[in-house]
Amino acid sequence: MVKKYGISALLLFGVYILVMYVYIFHSNSGGIPESLQGTVADPHTFMSEQEVYLSEEYSKIKNFLFFVATPFEWLVYIFILASGLSQAFENSLLIKVKWGIIKKAVYLFLLSLFIFIVLFPLDYYRYYLSKNYGISNQNFSSWMRDILIDFWVNYGMTVVIVTVLYWLIYKNTKKWWINACLLMIPFSIFMMFIQPVVIDPLYNDFYPLTDKGLETKILTLAEQANIPANHVYEVNMAEKTNALNAYVTGIGSNSRIVLWDTTLNQLTEGEILFVMAHEMGHYVEKHIYIGIVVYTFTTILGLWLIAKLMPWIIARFGSRLKIKQIHAIHSFPLFLLITSVLSFASSPLTNYISRYEETRADDYAIELVAEPSAAVSTFQKLTIAGLNEVNPPLLVKWFRYSHPTMLERINKVVDDTSE
């Protein structure tokens, strides 16, 4: 029976891959509307023919990988359960110890290591792709270092979260999600607080902006926006990527405005001020706090759904998935599976909210800096540096784009300034 279900899942996955391949590589979705061809939003006006070709090719491959990798991850979780691997990890001689936290830590290490090994080819191919298309400058040893830091940081947080989570499930298999919500929300806020000063520096060096004249102008903008900022930080990314970025991270006294050095090297002063004004727009519009509210709501809803779905799945398919009890640690891949499916299903909504916030931040930046041409040229340079697709297919936009498309962003600037 398990073999039959496995073959059916693989066939379904194969059909899905074929459908997504046709949609992404051979459909007419996306492209430049006829009314915008030849305008500043048309990549043919600010990119070379080679850059346009590479951006289209690179975007299609990235999009296809995204839509393939997510359900493939689901199949991995199902395989770990149905093959008995999860039970084997729990019953391993390596974890016959008295203390439950050590047992869970070893189980989670074996599980994380297996998933890391299985998904490593996909991770490596993404790295190879970005290197081959000139987005990444990072050598293999540096990339592996970042991958291993990711592994250990995620593993450490997983041990803490899962140990507490399964203790709650053991104490109350029906209402554990309520206490989990009460703990997860402050934990997540705590992680947002320490992210800029503890986790981010593991990957890169952060230091105050070296161009003090530019920093003064940025802080003047911050003062106009009533933002209590004393420093702007830059991070050394040029040795890893040619892409451009800037962001706001952290909360409270640990919040930071960060510029990649690639942004400093490739944008003009006016363009940098526009980027900074955009990031300040997020602060003024209180997007960090809105994000916390949205995260709180989705966490509560997600944990409630998991609490309802896990017992039902175990009752119906537990023997095939080799799950004996919901509070047994070997059920954790099922928790991961449901979480991943819910996250994927909700991404169109969360991306829509994010795109709305990014649009608001763009509007604020254009009003604060009052240089529409700087906004347009910034968006154009961001497109070139990342070989971004200016107008992706609709499904790609829904599931992948947390920012408005470059076509929308550039065209909105033109429309607003022509009114």
Q: Would the annotation count 358 as a binding residue?
A: yes
Mean pLDDT of 19-35: 85
What single-letter amino acid sits at 353? I
pLDDT band at 229 (very low <50, low <70, confident <90, very high): low
Q: At what angle do helices 332-369 and 140-171 cross, to 10 degrees?
A: 120
pLDDT band at residue 194 using 50, 70 and 90 as cut-offs: confident
Report pLDDT for 207: 83
Q: Is 123 a catalytic residue?
A: no
Q: Is 282 annotated as a binding residue?
A: yes
Q: Is the pLDDT higher at 416 or at 253?
A: 416
Q: Quick check: is 182 in a domain? A: yes
Reference 355, options 298, 405, 412; nearest CA is 405
In a domain, 250, yes or no: no
Domain presence at residue 96 = no
Q: How much of the chain exceeds pLDDT 90, in percent?
A: 51
Q: The tokens of 154 are what?
A: 């995620």
pLDDT at 369 (0 to 100): 85
Please indicate, yes or no, if residue 299 is contained in any of the structural domains.
Answer: yes
Name the band, by pLDDT with cuts 50, 70 and 90, for residue 85: very high
- Give the long-range contacts of residues 348-351, CB within 8 A, separation 24 or more: 348/398, 348/399, 350/294, 350/298, 350/402, 351/397, 351/398, 351/399, 351/400, 351/401, 351/402
Strand blocks (E) in 37-95: none
Q: Is 12 within a domain?
A: yes
Q: Which helix (H) or strand (E) holds 80?
A: helix 49-82
**Mean pLDDT computed over 309-330:** 90
Comparing 132-136, 285-289, 312-316, 341-345, the range with the smallest average pLDDT is 285-289
User: Which amino acid is located at 305 in the chain?
Assistant: L
371 is in an annotated binding site: no
Question: Which secondary-structure segment (H or E) carries 52?
Answer: helix 49-82
- For residue 14, the enclosing domain spans 2-84+118-138+168-203+287-418
Q: What is the mean pLDDT of residues 342-359?
A: 94
pLDDT of residue 24: 93
pLDDT in tens, 284-311: 888 888 888 888 889 899 999 999 999 9
Domain membership of residue 67 (yes or no) is: yes
Phi, psi at residue 257, to the nearest 5°? -100, 125
pLDDT at position 286: 84
For the chain, the farthest-separated pair of C-alpha atoms sits apart, in whole angstroms, at: 72
User: Which tokens in the block code for residue 158?
Assistant: 């997983």
> Phi and psi for 258 in degrees, rounded to 5?
-125, 135
- 198 lies in a domain? yes
**Taking residues 82-98, what's their average pLDDT?**
77
Per-residue model confidence as pLDDT tens digits over 133-164: 999 999 999 999 999 999 999 999 999 999 99
Residue 36 has pLDDT above 90, yes or no: no
Total domain count, the chain: 1
pLDDT at 61 over 90: yes
Which band of pLDDT confidence, cut at 50, 70 and 90, is reported for residue 254? low
pTM of the model: 0.89
Of 279, 357, 389, 408, the catalytic one is 279
For residue 42, indicate whether it is catalytic.
no
Contact indicator for 115, 340 with CB cutoff of 8 Å = no
In a domain, 146, yes or no: no
